[in-house]
Amino acid sequence: MTLVTMGLATGGAQAVGPGGAEACPSNSVCLYFNSPEYGWGSFENFSPGQRGLDLSRFKFTHWGSNGSGYGAVIAMHAASIVNNTDHFVHIYVPAGYYVQYESGYYGNLNTAYNWDVAMDT
């Protein structure tokens, strides 16, 4: 299978990233259940340098501010991302391509919205 990148997400989609209980730890990648405009919700954070993470093996385990999505499997349910690393992150979708998110990006997953199956951090 050949994987190609279909897009590059750049810049923050919102004026500010999540804060308080929803804040993504430094040097982490976080996937969130909700879109920013609906209050980020539950999330899971990942360390950089991991390849081929099967997102069906992970759940949203951090409550966030409103608890929406808490305990749900991440695969096919993530709506947004925060990339607090110094490099690109790739989210793979079932069609065989990935969407690339630059360092410092926070916002919707765009074309990978609720269509996420794997990730390279």
Q: What pTM does this model have?
A: 0.87
How many distinct structural domains can be found in the chain? 1
In a domain, 20, yes or no: no
One DSSP character per residue, the chain reads ---EEEEEE-S-SSSS---GGGPPPTT-EEEESS-GGG---SEEEE-TT--SEEGGG-B--B-TTT-TTTT-BSTTT--EEEE-SSS-EEEE-TTSEEEEE-TT-EEE-GGGTT---EEE-
Report the CATH number that the domain containing residue 89 is assigned in CATH: 2.60.20.10
For residue 116, the enclosing domain spans 4-15+25-120
What confidence tens digit (pLDDT) does each residue in 46-81 have? Answer: 999 999 999 999 999 999 878 899 999 999 999 999
